[in-house]
Copies of this chain bind each other. A is one copy, B any other.
Amino acid sequence: MSGGLDSTTVLYHAIKRGYKCECILFDYGQRHRKELNSAVRIAKKTGCKYRIVKIYLPWSESSLTDCDKKIPNNTKLLAFSSQLSAKATLPTTYVPGRNTIFISFALSYAETINAGTIFIGANAVDYSGYPDCRPEYYLAWDRLLRSLGVKISVQAPLIRLDKAEIVRLGSKLGVPFKLTWSCYKGGRTQCGICDSCRFREKGFKESGIRDK
């Protein structure tokens, strides 16, 4: 759980469906602590147990972890139907293997506490073209988990929703939007310019819901 719009909506979705949730928050050397602080606040609000896992990727050259790099603000919105040839179109915010690492830690935790489901807020419509946000990737995870003989599935309930649909769903579920943090930068307020802010803005605009 990142503390952004998507993972928060997924948490509320899972709670609504009766799951007893525990949140895993990843501290992977993000440029700022805003996301994590948001995630902690939201977890506390829902009364869910949470754990912060520290991950250090000594080789990451992503602009999400490297403060010397510029955060992009002009990445085209990509639909998952456009068969993108990975690397070519990837923005600098891409962290290689990130979701794979996240899910593998979640798997470890799920095995330990006997949880049956891993939820992730990945989303293949209004996103930046990350290959680990595509539906076929999550199908491949299910197969991998079956090969391990564990009864754990990975669910990405937002995978085929666009940002406006996510905002509408979140609104219906009572997601406290004002506690969420989407901005790639760590300013006092969200910048409104970076890719992540733009996707969020587009979502609220199209849904007709006001972003507080």
Contacts and interface: CB of A to CB of B under 8 A. Distances in A.
Interface stretch (A38-46, A96-104, A192-200): A96-104
B59 A108 contact: yes
A95 B144 CA distance: 17
- Copy count, this protein chain: 2
B147 A134 contact: yes
Contact of A61 (B53, B56, B112): B112
A55 B26 CA distance: 12
Interface in A155-182: none
A58 interface: yes
Contacts of A95: 108
A105 interface: yes
A113 to B, nearest CB: 7
A143 interface: yes
Nearest to A83: B149
A97 B111 contact: yes
Contacts of A146: 140
A93 to B, nearest CB: 14
Most B CB within 10 A of own CB, among A97, A101, A112, A141: A97
Contact of A148 (B54, B61, B137): B137
A35 interface: no
A100 to B, nearest CB: 4
Given A96-B107, A97-B104, 20 more contacts: A51-B58, A51-B59, A54-B56, A55-B55, A59-B109, A59-B112, A61-B112, A100-B107, A100-B108, A100-B144, A101-B104, A101-B105, A103-B104, A131-B148, A131-B150, A136-B147, A137-B147, A140-B140, A140-B144, A141-B144
